[in-house]
């Protein structure tokens, strides 16, 4: 027998039996291996139906009678079905006897593998082999290590010179660790031969593309792009679906075997935390890198809950079986209040500290043991949800601590920030999935319990602050803005942080101290402030803002750029009193920006507005600008779907908008409309300073 050590690169089902493993060995070899992995499912329900299922399966699979735990019901008598081959027998049984309860039937193969072996994706492992067959496999590290040994990936980037949805590309840019170059795409046969030779020469582990999912990879169907030559590229169709109050469009997907493919244009959160973040999520969730890049963090939390269930002997139901308990109207109002939000004190305030509870909702779930099966029990065991989140929460907090101590110029900072951001998003969505109607282990009462505890802890934090003579200017779910005359340094607020942590048992951290922060009024009623909109300047000169135009996707880049230029100009003031000295410069910035726009000096790309198509075109009775842009594209023979992002520019005339992809004449741009958008964005920043008698001078 041979022994190999290396990184577990990928795992997927073999068409006949067991799984295929790809390992990047310490020697640098990329090894394709096979391993037996029996698949076990469980069936429960009416005795007569179970007997019919037993008869149907007898002689085809291994059957046994046993007891297993349902998270909500407890111990159940179940039929255990062990499938030795990757066949469709389980689906046949479900279609013939749909009234039975099915468990562990749709678990991703990577999760079964991890639960069976204890070896996580991208982790170091030691294997003993009999030719290509794995006899034993042992984990050499843990996904919870703060600094895992980096996997030595070979990456090839492929990107066309145009968006293929609107113009046929003529050249393909190829970038590897050895440099970059271009390949002419016409004629097609020499192009395919050249690219095939490059793939064989570089043998990349990851092909990172622009427009690869729906355009490039299908175009390469005639060449060997998979490292596993027994498998063809897996193509998944595009679809649109409704979630979290909005329509989301997911483009077609192209998955490879033996190497990864990620389309940056079709990867859900890739711009948020990059490849390092995707790999971090893959490590802790057990979902393959190609899948994780295209899925939401919610899918990652679901996978983690499944892994916890598999490790602890809890069966995973095919469908959620628990409905929300009945409540009176008064009971519903008491229970379903959500997070605590205070109306901020209107105006501009100096020397304000923002303090945030660290991952408050997940911390509550872990520390208060909130899980569907623990509700209403006096001294329960640690629930499935806290077990799932405990290591994740600990790792994220430790990464944040390490980042606090690192110099910004340290080469580790970028990677650690991406990893921390990826873990943050998993923790952000875990609360929503606790009450999500289709979550296997979700229960709305658990969701309500978390928000109830959160509201109580926020009130306790407020009371502690006020007892120490701080004024609480604003509270928003898990953060507080506090002020005390004469206090402006970080150490001045340490006693408050310690007192709140001691009272609530949830760590609270200093987010930053503002030289000044503004809570602007509502545009509908200037007498009241808006909870989720503020902007200010920290003591280090950094600007921070929420809810203003610069944070919105549907605002053109030009408006956001000038708004931030204005805010950074105001940030040059060393104190609130000095802001007035910079307002003439603010006025000049706006005047010059408008002059540049009128003179045609602003690139048209900076005027593009991006909005999502919220429904099918026939669903619009009065087409909005985004719908008008979609209608224009459809008229040109291009397919548009709900959830797709449309790009357009406002123009003069009856059309009002022009789809960006159809070309925009700079002479037709509605300059007055863009100037009005800029005025609105800038007045939202400087308007409060007039009321504070700083003196705008307009």
The count of residues in the chain is 698
Where is pLDDT greater, at 549 or 439? 549
Percent of the chain at pLDDT above 90? Answer: 71
The dihedral region occupied by 663, where left means phi > 0, alpha psi between -120 and 50, and beta the remainder, is left
pLDDT at residue number 694: 38
For residue 471 the two structure tokens come to 């004024």
For residue 568 the two structure tokens come to 């950074």
pLDDT at residue number 617: 87
- Cis-peptide into 187, omega within 30 deg: yes
Residue 695 predicted with pLDDT over 50: no
CA distances from 472 to 359, 482, 492, 689, 692 (A): 21, 5, 16, 21, 20
Residue 335 predicted with pLDDT over 80: no
Contact of 1 with 129, CB cutoff 8 Å: yes
Residue 635 predicted with pLDDT over 50: yes
Place of tokens 């899948």: 291
Q: What whole-number distance in Å separates Cα of residue 263 and Cα of residue 211?
A: 6
For residue 544 the two structure tokens come to 């921070």
State the virtual CA torsion across 269, 274, 277, 281 in degrees, nearest 10.
Answer: 50
Residue 241 predicted with pLDDT over 70: no
Residue 609 pairs in a beta bridge with: 648
Q: Which of 186-200, 310-324, 606-620 has the lowest mean pLDDT?
A: 310-324
Q: What is the 3-state secondary structure (H, E, C) of 569-585?
A: HHCCCCCHHHHHHHHHH
Residue 83 pairs in a beta bridge with: 39
Q: Which of 184-188, 372-376, 666-670 has the lowest mean pLDDT?
A: 372-376
Contact of 113 with 20, CB cutoff 8 Å: no
Contact of 161 with 186, CB cutoff 8 Å: no
**CB-hemisphere CA count at 13 Å for 243?**
16
Degrees, nearest 5: CA angle 450-454-460: 150
pLDDT at residue number 697: 37
Contacts of 142 (CB under 8 A, 6+ apart): 120, 123
B/e letters for 147-162, b = 16+ CB within 10 Å, e = fewer, are ebeebebebbbbbbee
Where is pLDDT greater, at 600 or 698? 600
Q: What whole-number distance in Å separates Cα of residue 564 and Cα of residue 18?
A: 56
Residue 250 pairs in a beta bridge with: 239
Percent of the chain at pLDDT above 70? Answer: 95
Note the pLDDT tens digit of each residue in 353-395: 999 998 899 999 999 999 989 987 876 789 999 999 999 999 9
Mean pLDDT, all residues of the chain: 91
Contacts of 73 (CB under 8 A, 6+ apart): none
For residue 560 the two structure tokens come to 């956001």
For residue 315 the two structure tokens come to 């069966």
Note the pLDDT tens digit of each residue in 59-98: 889 999 999 999 988 999 999 999 877 678 888 999 999 9
B/e letters for 428-456, b = 16+ CB within 10 Å, e = fewer, are ebbbbbbbbeebbbbbbbbbbbbbbbbbe
Compute the average pLDDT of residues 244-249: 66
**Within its chain, how far is the Cα of 405 from the centroid?**
26
- Bridge pairing between strands 260-263 and 206-209: parallel
Least Cα distance to 549 among 677, 686, 688 occurs for: 677
Place of tokens 């958008």: 677
DSSP assignments along 486-539, one per residue:
T--SGGGGHHHHHHHHHHHSS-EEEEEEEEEEEEPBPSS-TTSB-TT-EEEEET
- Bridge pairing between strands 543-546 and 508-519: unpaired
Q: What is the pTM of this model?
A: 0.89
Residue 242 predicted with pLDDT over 70: no
Question: Where do the domains of the chain lie, and which CATH numbers do they carry?
Answer: 2-139 (no CATH), 155-315 (3.30.420), 328-372+443-547 (3.90.1600.10), 553-698 (1.10.132.60)
pLDDT at residue number 434: 84
pLDDT at residue number 693: 40
Q: Which of 59-73, 243-257, 459-473, 647-661 has the lowest mean pLDDT?
A: 243-257
Q: What whole-number distance in Å separates Cα of residue 354 and Cα of residue 512?
A: 5
DSSP for residue 380: P
Q: What whole-number distance in Å separates Cα of residue 133 and Cα of residue 119?
A: 17
Report the SS3 class of residue 217. Answer: helix
Note the pLDDT tens digit of each residue in 264-296: 989 888 888 999 999 999 999 999 999 999 998
pLDDT at residue number 379: 66
Note the pLDDT tens digit of each residue in 552-590: 989 999 999 999 999 999 999 999 989 989 999 999 999
Compute the average pLDDT of residues 146-162: 94
Compute the average pLDDT of residues 488-493: 91
Residue 156 pairs in a beta bridge with: 207
According to DSSP H, which parts of 325-381 are helical? 329-335, 360-367
Q: What whole-number distance in Å separates Cα of residue 568 and Cα of residue 586?
A: 10
- Bridge pairing between strands 534-538 and 508-519: antiparallel
Confidence of residue 245 (pLDDT cuts 50, 70, 90): low
Q: What whole-number distance in Å separates Cα of residue 90 and Cα of residue 598?
A: 67
pLDDT at residue number 698: 38
Least Cα distance to 654 among 611, 623, 690 occurs for: 623
């Amino acid at each position: 027998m041979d022994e190999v050590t290396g990184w577990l690169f990928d795992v997927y089902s073999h068409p006949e039996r067991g799984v295929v493993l790809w390992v990047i060995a310490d020697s640098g070899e990329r090894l394709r291996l096979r391993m037996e992995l029996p698949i076990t499912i469980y069936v429960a329900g009416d005795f007569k139906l179970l007997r019919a299922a037993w008869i149907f399966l007898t002689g085809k699979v291994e059957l046994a009678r046993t007891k297993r735990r349902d998270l909500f019901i407890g111990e159940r008598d179940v039929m255990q079905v062990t499938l030795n081959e990757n066949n469709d027998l389980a689906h046949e049984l479900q279609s013939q006897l749909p009234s039975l309860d099915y468990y562990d039937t749709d678990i991703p193969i990577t999760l079964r593998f991890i639960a069976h072996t204890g070896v996580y994706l991208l982790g170091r492992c030691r294997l003993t082999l009999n030719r290509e067959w794995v006899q034993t496999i042992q984990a050499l590290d843990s996904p919870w290590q703060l600094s895992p040994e980096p996997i030595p990936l070979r990456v090839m980037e492929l990107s066309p010179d145009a968006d293929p949805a609107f113009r046929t590309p003529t050249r393909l840019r190829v970038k590897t660790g050895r440099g970059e170059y271009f390949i002419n795409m016409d004629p097609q046969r020499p192009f395919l031969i050249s690219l095939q030779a490059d793939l064989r020469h570089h043998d990349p582990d990851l092909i990172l593309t622009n427009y690869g999912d729906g355009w490039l990879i299908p175009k390469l169907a005639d060449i060997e792009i998979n490292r596993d030559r027994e498998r063809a590229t897996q193509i998944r169709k595009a679809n649109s679906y409704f979630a979290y109050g909005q329509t989301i469009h997911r483009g077609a997907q192209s998955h490879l075997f033996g190497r990864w493919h990620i389309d940056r244009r079709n990867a859900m959160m890739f711009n948020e935390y990059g490849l390092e973040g995707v790999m971090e999520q893959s490590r802790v969730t057990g979902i393959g890198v190609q899948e994780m890049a295209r899925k939401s963090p919610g899918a990652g939390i679901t996978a983690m809950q499944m892994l916890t269930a598999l490790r602890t002997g809890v069966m995973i139901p095919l469908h959620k079986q628990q409905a929300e308990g009945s409540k009176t109207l008064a009971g519903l109002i008491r229970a379903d209040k959500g997070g605590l939000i205070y109306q901020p004190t209107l105006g501009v305030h100096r020397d304000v500290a923002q303090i945030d509870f660290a991952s408050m909702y997940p911390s509550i779930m872990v520390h208060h043991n909130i899980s569907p099966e623990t509700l209403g029990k006096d001294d329960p065991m640690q629930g499935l949800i806290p077990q799932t989140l405990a290591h994740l929460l600990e790792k994220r907090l430790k990464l944040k601590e390490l980042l606090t101590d690192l110099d910004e110029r340290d080469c580790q900072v970028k990677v650690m920030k991406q990893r921390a951001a990826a873990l943050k998003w998993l923790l952000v969505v875990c609360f929503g999935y606790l009450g999500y109607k289709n979550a296997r282990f979700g229960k709305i009462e658990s969701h309500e319990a978390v928000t109830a505890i959160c509201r109580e802890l926020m009130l306790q934090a407020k009371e502690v602050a006020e007892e120490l003579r701080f004024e609480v200017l604003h509270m928003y779910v898990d953060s507080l803005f506090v002020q005390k005359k004469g206090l402006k340094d970080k150490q001045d607020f340490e006693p408050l942080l310690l007192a709140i942590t001691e009272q609530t048992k949830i760590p609270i951290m200093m987010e930053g101290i503002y030289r000044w922060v503004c809570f602007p009024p509502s545009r509908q009623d200037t007498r009241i402030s808006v909870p989720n909109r503020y902007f200010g300047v920290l003591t280090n000169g950094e600007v921070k803002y929420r809810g203003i135009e610069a944070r919105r996707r549907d605002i053109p880049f030009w408006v956001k750029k000038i708004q931030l230029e204005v805010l950074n100009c105001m940030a040059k003031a060393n104190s609130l009193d000095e802001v007035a000295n910079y307002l003439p410069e603010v006025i000049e910035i706006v005047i010059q920006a408008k002059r540049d726009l009128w003179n045609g000096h602003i690139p048209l790309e900076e005027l593009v507005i991006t909005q999502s198509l919220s429904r099918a075109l026939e669903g619009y009775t009065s087409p909005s600008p985004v719908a008008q842009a979609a209608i224009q594209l459809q008229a040109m023979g291009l397919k548009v779907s709900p959830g797709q992002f449309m790009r357009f520019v406002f123009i003069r005339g009856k059309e009002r908008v022009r789809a960006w992809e159809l070309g925009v004449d700079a002479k037709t741009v509605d300059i007055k409309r863009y100037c009005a958008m800029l005025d609105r964005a800038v007045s939202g920043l400087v308007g409060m300073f007039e009321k504070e008698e700083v003196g705008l001078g307009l």
